[in-house]
């Protein structure tokens, strides 16, 4: 069993075994799960992050225009650009693999493991981005 398969709780065939049977819908399900996980992650973090940004605005006595300008570094910097680029690449790969699996005459079931691994990397990337942005904002609020 591969390390990825073990980490995701998936069975992965040995070289001498045939891949497990799957249906086209299995690929669509994995893509839907990725979308749902991202939605959940964003809906959990966005309100708290916005609240902390407002708190910083009030603490610094910024007007609206100052807030728009001064809040940018907490939302977008060199590191968040890398997170966003990685996210875009993973989303593209997930969508492509999901579509290939869903439209193939005979789905390549061994690709489900890879698709799940990319989904996990996507959620991990977005979690790391949120953590990074919260750390920056919390450090500034502590000053």
Using one digit for the tens of pLDDT, what is the confidence trace for 16-50?
554 567 887 888 888 788 788 889 999 999 999 99
Alpha-carbon Rg for the chain, nearest whole angstrom, is 20
Task: Tell me what pLDDT residue 20 has.
Answer: 61
Average pLDDT, the chain: 84
By the 8 A CB rule, do 113 and 11 touch? Answer: no
- 114's CB contacts (< 8 A; 6+ apart) are 4, 97
CA 24 to each of CA 4, 28, 30, 97: distance values in angstroms, whole numbers, following the listed order: 22, 7, 11, 11
Using one digit for the tens of pLDDT, what is the confidence trace for 107-128?
788 888 888 899 899 999 999 9
Q: Outline where 61-110 has alpha helix (H).
A: 64-75, 78-103
% of the chain with per-residue pLDDT over 90 = 54
CA 58 to each of CA 22, 95, 140: distance values in angstroms, whole numbers, following the listed order: 54, 41, 13
């Amino acid at each position: 069993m591969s390390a990825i398969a073990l980490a995701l709780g998936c069975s992965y065939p040995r070289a001498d075994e045939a891949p497990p049977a799957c249906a086209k819908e299995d690929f669509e399900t994995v893509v839907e799960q990725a979308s749902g996980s991202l939605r959940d992650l964003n809906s959990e973090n966005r309100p708290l992050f916005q609240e902390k940004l407002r708190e910083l605005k009030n603490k610094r006595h910024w007007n609206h225009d100052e807030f728009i300008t001064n809040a940018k570094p907490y939302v977008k910097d060199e590191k968040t650009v890398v997170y966003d680029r990685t996210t875009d690449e993973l989303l593209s790969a997930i969508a492509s693999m999901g579509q290939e699996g869903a439209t193939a005459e005979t789905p390549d079931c061994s690709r489900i493991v890879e698709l799940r691994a990319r989904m996990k990397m996507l959620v991990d990337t977005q979690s790391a981005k949120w953590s990074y942005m919260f750390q920056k904002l919390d450090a500034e609020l502590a000053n």
